[in-house]
Chain A
Amino acid sequence: QITLKESGPTLVKPTQTLTLTCTFSGFSLTTFGVGVGWIRQPPGKALEWLALIYWNDDARYSSSLRSRLTITMDTSKNQVVLIMTNMDPVDTATYYCAHTNSSAPIDYWGQGTLVTVSS
């Protein structure tokens, strides 16, 4: 079955760079159409889509956060990495990674990891 798990720091300081790793199983990111994305959710607030990378290394980003985000994949490790620069307290959120296919909804989600930005 498909599983995804997020890992990374739980606390970062303002201006620091956040690096999150999504480790997945049950599918391959070399399969045509497959994608892995990142979505975040500040406490008590709505979901916000951040970035997505497809099997062909095609990366897509949130328009408002594009300048701060980088998404990469390592197919040998079954991992996707999200880098977010210049962290701010407003970036405090639960960060989810998720599985999708091109032109399809998100069908599997990780459990999420809470990242707090505070000095």
Chain B
Amino acid sequence: DIVMTQSPDSLAVSLGERATISCRSSQSVLYTSNNKNYLAWYQQKPGQPPKLLIYWASTRESGVPDRFSGSGSGTAFTLTISSLQAEDVAVYYCQQYYTSPLTFGGGTKVEIK
């Protein structure tokens, strides 16, 4: 199975500041035939199901604010919130969909400092 490791477990960021979350996979999720990374990011607010933010490692889902961006390739990925807003307080998860079993990272809780 591909193990997804996120860091940090939690972070506190001031409003308007940048938040950066890392995700590493135990093996590459880059499919070389199409040069796509099978990596998604989700946002989960309390009492709600997760919401898809980013897929193919860097493509924003429709309606997601452009302050959210994803980067990375192969085994190392980053989710960046360029200017943290109050409504961004949530837990963020990465997930690989390169191969089953599909696996999630352990989550990163983002709070306001």
Q: Give the most central of B38, B50, B103, B106: most A CB within 10 Å.
A: B50
Q: Give the most central of A47, A96, A103: most B CB within 10 Å.
A: A47
Interface of B: prevailing SS: loop
Q: How far is the CB of A2 from chain B (nearest CB, A)?
A: 12
Q: How far is the CB of A110 from chain B (nearest CB, A)?
A: 7
Q: Does B77 contact A (CB under 8 A)?
A: no
Binding site for B on A (CB under 8 A): 37, 39, 46-49, 52, 60-63, 96, 98, 100, 103-107, 109-112
B55 near A47: Cβ-Cβ < 8 Å: no
Q: How far is the CB of A62 from chain B (nearest CB, A)?
A: 5
Q: How far is the CB of A68 from chain B (nearest CB, A)?
A: 14
Known: A63-B1, A111-B49. A47 touches B93 (CB 8 A): yes
Cross-chain contact of A105 among B40, B101, B103, B106 (Cβ < 8 A) = B40
Cβ-Cβ contact count across A and B, 8 Å cutoff:
57
Q: How far is the CB of B95 from chain A (nearest CB, A)?
A: 7
Cα-based distance from A46 to B40 in the complex (angstroms): 15
Cα-based distance from A39 to B42 in the complex (angstroms): 13
B49 near A112: Cβ-Cβ < 8 Å: yes
B1 near A109: Cβ-Cβ < 8 Å: no
The 7 A-B pairs with the shortest beta carbon distances in the complex, nearest first, are A105-B40, A109-B49, A60-B100, A47-B104, A105-B55, A46-B107, A49-B102
Cross-chain contact of B50 among A37, A47, A100 (Cβ < 8 A) = A47
Interface residues on B, range: 20 to 34
B38 near A52: Cβ-Cβ < 8 Å: no
Taking CB atoms, residues of chain A closer than 8 Å to B100 are 52, 60-61
B103 near A49: Cβ-Cβ < 8 Å: yes
Taking CB atoms, residues of chain B closer than 8 Å to A39 are 104
Cα-based distance from A47 to B102 in the complex (angstroms): 11
B49 near A96: Cβ-Cβ < 8 Å: yes
B97 near A103: Cβ-Cβ < 8 Å: yes
Taking CB atoms, residues of chain A closer than 8 Å to B55 are 104-105
